[in-house]
Structure 1
């Protein structure tokens, strides 16, 4: 399950509970952090606090949470409070030592 749209993981979690299936969450965005960072929501707004509460609850009910980097890993790890589902990091970028630009000629 992915976080776009942000309401989707909640419906998926309900479906997983009904079907007695494991639920995994791939986080592309952290809510409400992304909304606060873009200025769409003030950090102290009711909407930000509610989203934070809902996502904390969601994270704590997932089997595994997959994040895209070390900073996201730390944020999610800090937000865990009840039980600690496994958090897995998948770096979402290229290794610049191994993958380098090639000249256009002969690179078809």
Structure 2
């Protein structure tokens, strides 16, 4: 589907005279909106679509803490280091 997504974006950009970046940003905003509709607006969500491959990823921002009290907003230091090797307590990191 990723190649088809890129081909579709290119086609829409050409047909409508739009900048590809505008289309990518609209898709990312739609992904965030859909996620928040399903999982609640409290989560700090970011969506990224790879401009070359079309791969889509959703990230949540979580604070690095010693003890997790809220799994949606916090992450332990050990777990955080799997995503950001130099993470420290108090950091806010993006987790896929």
TM-score by length of structure 2 reads 0.26
The structure that is strand-richer by fraction is: 2
When Rg is computed on C-alpha atoms for both structures, the one with the higher figure is 1
